[in-house]
Each structure stands twice: as structure tokens, then as C-alpha cells.
């Protein structure tokens, strides 16, 4: 008696971590300066297409109050594409969009390389690098947190 043994192997897909996906996407041609909202949206859509659960990703919009310091602009001091001023990479926007995943900030406009930092550390490095620079009052405010959809 002959037996035919057929093994069906389901290929195991080892999902990369969101950190790995962020690092890869950071250097992709889908990222462009001054399009933070579009960058975050494209990243989340890419994750969803690859089967990642994005329920834990929150999207934040950062705006600035009208003041003598920022004139209603969000002033970033560690921007990927900023202009070098006194050792800071300075850039300003009317608003800025970031994503937060499990307490870590995903921002394609932050720094010269992809890093996911804890929320407080990110805020310190991106916006409050040197507290002596900030003259009076708030330099920015968070306008809402919601799941991207």
C-alpha cells in the first residue's frame, strides 16, 4: 500500500513592528515636507494595507495660540527639514499633525532620523528644546485626539 502524504504549509508572515514600518516609511518617497497630515494618513493606510491593527494609533493636531512669540505658528526646534539657527533646526507651521502609538510619537517631520519617542520626551525635543527661548505663555496647544479614519 502506498501512502501519499501531502503537507500543506501556510506561510507564516512575520509582521514587522510598527517601529520597523515607521523607519522604512520615513525614508520612502511617500513622505514630503510640510505635508504632516498627509504623511501620517499615508502611513496609517499603509499599515492597514499590510494587516496591522491601527486601533491604538491616535492622531493629534497641534496648533499655536496667537502670541508675540509664535504669531499663531507652531514653532518646531528639531525639524527634519528646518533651517539651521543657533544649533536648532527651526521650522514653523500653521499646525502640525503627529500620531501616537502606545505612548510613543510618530512624526515624519521630527529630527534627521526616524525615532519614536515617549510623548513627553518628544514634546521636549521638538518644541521645548530650551525653555529660555519661550518668552511668555504657551507655545502650542493640542487641539484634539482621535483615531484616524
Please compute the mean of the pLDDT values over residues 4-18 and round it to a whole number: 44
Residues in the chain: 149
SS3 of the chain: CCCCCCCCCCCCCCCCCHHHHHHHHHCCCCCCCCCHHHHHHHHHHHHHHCCCCCCCEEEEEEECCCCCCCCCCEEECEECCCEEECCEEEEEECCEEEEEECCEEECCCECCCCCCEEHHHHHHHHCCCCHHHCCCCCCCEEEEEEECC
What is the structure's pLDDT at 32?
93
Whether the predicted pLDDT of 102 surpasses 50: yes
pTM value surpassing 0.85: no
Cα torsion 116, 118, 119, 123 to 10°: value is -80
Tens-digit pLDDT profile for residues 41-94: 999 999 999 999 999 999 998 887 665 555 667 888 889 998 898 888 888 888
For the chain, the first-to-last Cα distance in angstroms comes to 59
Burial of 104 (0-12, 13-18, 19+ CB in 10 A): middle
What is the structure's pLDDT at 85?
86
Whether the predicted pLDDT of 131 surpasses 70: no
More confident residue, 40 or 91: 40
What is the structure's pLDDT at 136?
41
Percentage of the chain exceeding pLDDT 70: 69
Whether the predicted pLDDT of 21 surpasses 90: yes
Distance CA 124, CA 78 (A): 10
Cell numbers found for residue 21:
514600518
What is the structure's pLDDT at 97?
94
Amino acid at each position: 500500500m502506498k501512502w501519499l502524504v501531502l503537507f500543506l504549509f501556510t506561510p507564516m508572515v512575520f509582521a514587522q513592528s510598527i517601529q520597523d514600518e515607521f523607519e522604512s516609511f520615513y525614508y520612502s518617497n511617500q513622505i514630503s515636507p510640510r505635508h504632516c497630515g498627509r504623511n501620517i494618513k499615508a502611513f496609517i493606510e499603509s499599515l492597514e494595507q499590510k494587516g496591522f491593527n491601527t486601533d491604538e494609533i491616535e492622531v493629534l493636531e497641534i496648533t499655536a495660540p496667537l502670541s508675540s512669540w509664535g504669531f499663531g505658528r507652531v514653532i518646531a526646534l528639531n525639524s527634519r527639514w528646518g533651517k539651521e539657527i543657533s544649533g536648532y533646526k527651526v521650522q514653523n507651521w500653521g499646525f502640525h499633525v503627529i500620531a501616537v502609538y502606545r505612548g510613543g510619537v510618530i512624526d515624519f517631520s521630527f529630527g534627521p532620523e526616524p525615532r519614536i519617542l515617549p510623548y513627553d520626551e518628544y514634546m521636549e525635543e521638538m518644541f521645548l528644546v530650551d525653555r529660555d527661548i519661550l518668552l511668555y505663555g504657551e507655545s502650542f496647544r493640542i487641539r484634539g485626539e482621535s483615531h484616524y479614519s
